[in-house]
């Protein structure tokens, strides 16, 4: 009986060390002439199966996805605001679909375009600065909602050899955000002055293209780091030929 237990324990640790994608993920074959088509369907399907995370791969919960914080120092231009976001929750990522996929596995490069019908960025915020000629300051809850958000992802990877296996580590993850519409709401602006706060929220939404464009790069930079971390949770622990099957 005792021997059986030891064998069982050894077997379990062997399984844990030999990471692979969860059973229910669709796997695509490297040699498939329709590899891109396969990935275009498999990746958003995997994302939906990751809503609660994957504990065995340390993949965090994806719906909502929690991000600790973002600091934005906006320089010159019409929008000069120092913003600090904490306890960020991103809702809606798992509803994304992919409109194109280009896998260049020989060069460890993946390019894909996604569209997210509604991505809500909810966070505690502190901000201070000015927009055009108007001063703005506040501390409360922010809701930045992007409608029909197109994201262009460019993943630049490199092979990493470990224990006789090749892993595709993503060393650079670039994103571009192209939302069709951005809705902004900041609670408790101007120390809770309701009239000033309502006016500013109205003003921000009337000028949301301008406001978003000034802040876009900071959001892109912060979120690309988040996407890179999540991707590498999988890519650094599952060998490349178990993500993109060799035969
Ligand atoms: C955020 O704003 C969007 C658009 O106005 C709204 O649909 C959504 O319910 C808001 N979310 C929260 C948590 O307030």
Task: Evaluate whether residue 95 is within a structural domain.
Answer: yes
Atom 12 of ligand 1, residue of closest alpha carbon: 143
Residue 73 is predicted with a pLDDT of 81
Domain with residue 178: its CATH number is 3.15.10.30
Tens digits of per-residue pLDDT, 134-173? 999 999 999 999 999 999 999 999 999 999 999 999 999 9
Atom 7 of ligand 1, residue of closest alpha carbon: 145
Is the pLDDT at 91 greater than 90? The verdict is yes
Choose one of 63, 117, 120, 125 to mutate for the ligand 1 pocket test, by most ligand atoms within 8 angstroms of C-beta.
Answer: 120
Mean pLDDT of 121-135: 93
Task: Evaluate whether residue 5 is within a structural domain.
Answer: no
Ligand 1 center–CA 17 separation, angstroms: 42
Task: Evaluate whether residue 106 is within a structural domain.
Answer: yes
Ligand 1 center–CA 2 separation, angstroms: 57
Is the pLDDT at 15 greater than 50? The verdict is no
DSSP assignment of the chain: -HHHHHHHHHHHHHHHHS----TTSPPEETT-TTHHHHHHHHHHHHHHHTTT-BGGGTBPP-TTEEEEEEEEE--SSSEEEEEEEEEEEEESGGG-EEEEEEEEGGGTEEEEEEEEEEEEEEEEEEEEEEETTEEEEEEEEEEEEEEEEEEEEEEEEEEEEETTEEEEEEEEEEEEEEEEEEEEEESSBGGG-HHHHHHHHHHHHHTHHHHHHHHHHHHHHHHHHHHHHHHHHHHTTS-HHHHEE--
Task: Evaluate whether residue 78 is within a structural domain.
Answer: yes
Ligand 1 center–CA 202 separation, angstroms: 15
Residue 2 is predicted with a pLDDT of 54
Q: Which atom of ligand 1 lies at the shortest distance from residue 143's CA?
A: 1
pLDDT above 70: percentage of residues in the chain: 92
Is the pLDDT at 17 greater than 60? The verdict is no
| Residue 7 or 87, more confident | 87
Task: Evaluate whether residue 1 is within a structural domain.
Answer: no
Atom 6 of ligand 1, residue of closest alpha carbon: 145
Average pLDDT, the chain: 91
Residue 19 is predicted with a pLDDT of 84
Mean pLDDT of 86-107: 97
Task: Evaluate whether residue 170 is within a structural domain.
Answer: yes
What is the span of the domain harbouring residue 77? Answer: 10-243
Number of domains in the chain: 1
Task: Evaluate whether residue 3 is within a structural domain.
Answer: no
Confidence of residue 235 (pLDDT cuts 50, 70, 90): very high
């Amino acid at each position: 009986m005792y021997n059986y237990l030891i064998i069982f324990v050894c077997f379990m640790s062997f399984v844990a060390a030999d990471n692979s994608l969860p059973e229910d993920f669709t796997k695509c074959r490297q040699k498939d002439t329709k590899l891109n088509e396969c990935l275009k369907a498999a990746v958003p399907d995997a994302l939906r199966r990751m809503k609660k995370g994957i504990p065995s791969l340390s993949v965090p919960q994806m719906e909502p996805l929690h991000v600790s914080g973002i600091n934005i120092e906006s320089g010159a231009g019409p929008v000069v605001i120092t913003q600090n976001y904490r306890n960020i929750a991103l809702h809606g990522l798992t509803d994304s679909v992919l409109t194109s996929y280009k896998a260049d596995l020989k060069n460890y490069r993946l390019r894909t375009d996604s569209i997210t019908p509604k991505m809500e960025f909810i966070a505690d915020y502190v901000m201070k600065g000015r927009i055009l000629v108007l001063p703005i300051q506040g501390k409360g809850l922010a809701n930045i909602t992007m409608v029909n958000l197109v994201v262009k992802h460019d993943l630049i990877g490199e092979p990493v050899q470990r224990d006789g296996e090749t892993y595709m580590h993503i060393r650079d993850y670039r994103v571009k955000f192209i939302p069709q519409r951005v809705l902004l709401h900041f609670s408790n602006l101007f120390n809770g002055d309701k009239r000033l706060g309502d006016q500013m929220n109205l003003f921000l939404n009337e000028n949301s293209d301008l406001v978003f464009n000034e802040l876009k790069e900071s959001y892109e930079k912060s979120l690309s780091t988040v996407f890179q971390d999540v991707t590498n949770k999988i890519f650094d622990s599952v060998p490349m030929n178990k993500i993109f099957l060799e035969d």
